[in-house]
Amino acid sequence: MRQQEAIVIASDRDWTIVRRGKLVTTPVVTRYHVEEGHFVAGKRCTGRADVADFMLNQLANWCHRH
């Protein structure tokens, strides 16, 4: 995974890499937490709805774009 990320980081494109915990099914978006540079401590599972919500929001506001 690190080699793939290095290729993305070295590119001339805008990018956001999303690292998430084990995917679980949740009925709705929850109050998820995002930190740059590493996994959130103690967070082992991530709702699919939360990942989708975060990724779609990045298309609109790019607050985690590099």
State the pLDDT at residue 38. Answer: 67
State the pLDDT at residue 63. Answer: 65
Residue 66 lies in a domain: no
Residue 18 lies in a domain: yes
Note the pTM of the prediction, 2 decimals: 0.72
Residue 31 lies in a domain: yes
Residue 8 lies in a domain: yes
Residue 53 lies in a domain: yes
Query: How many domains does the structure of the chain reveal?
Result: 1
Q: Which residues of the chain have pLDDT under 50?
A: none
Q: DSSP letters along the chain, please?
A: -HHHHHHHHHSSS--------EEE--SS-------SSSPPTT--EEEHHHHHHHHHHHHHH-TT--
Residue 7's domain comprises 2-61
State the pLDDT at residue 19. Answer: 80
State the pLDDT at residue 65. Answer: 65
